[in-house]
Amino acid sequence: MTYPPPPGGTPDPYQPQQPYGQQPSYDPTSPYSQDPYAAPSSGAPSSGQPYGQPPPYGAPTSGQPYGQQQYPPPGYGQPYAQQPYGQMPAPTNTMAILSLVFAFVFAPAGIIMGHVAKKQIRSSGESGEGLATAGLWLGYIITIFYVLICAFSILVPLLAATASVSTN
């Protein structure tokens, strides 16, 4: 809102100079200005906003019934992608989670569950393929580690026994 200059003073240089009582956004003589209180004509924004200004966030746009809002694209000012209303994300495969857990508890069971989980994920479209892959890799690595420990625990005493027998 602009105010008239004080009597005898200079006008505010930061205020646009408009005749007193007239809103700066609407000029009835200009073919480019639009009455903000007039009903929208064809092609005008349905939100009641003048041209050049976007409708407020969440306001229905033309062609949409009230209650069905248009959301911004995923990642637009949001920390995570928002799912459209009524669409649920794919559930995580339970065997994939168990594969990762059992890779630490009993590695061979983690390997088997990882293979079963990958087969189920391919057929059902569930999520969790990364968990199943991690369970497989960890299961194989830990199983190989245990096999090497068992081999060394058997070979070292045998080598020590044969070395002591051959020196006598």
Segment-wise mean pLDDT, segments of 10 residues, the chain, 168 residues: 62 62 60 61 53 58 56 55 70 96 96 97 94 97 97 92 78
Q: What is the pLDDT of residue 162?
A: 87
pLDDT digits (tens, 9 = 90+) for 83-108: 666 678 889 999 999 999 999 999 99
Q: Average pLDDT over the chain, rounded to whole?
A: 75
Instruction: Output the pLDDT for position 142.
Output: 97
Q: 136 vs 33, 105, 121, 133, CA distance in Å?
A: 67, 13, 14, 5
What is the predicted pLDDT for the residue at 38? 63
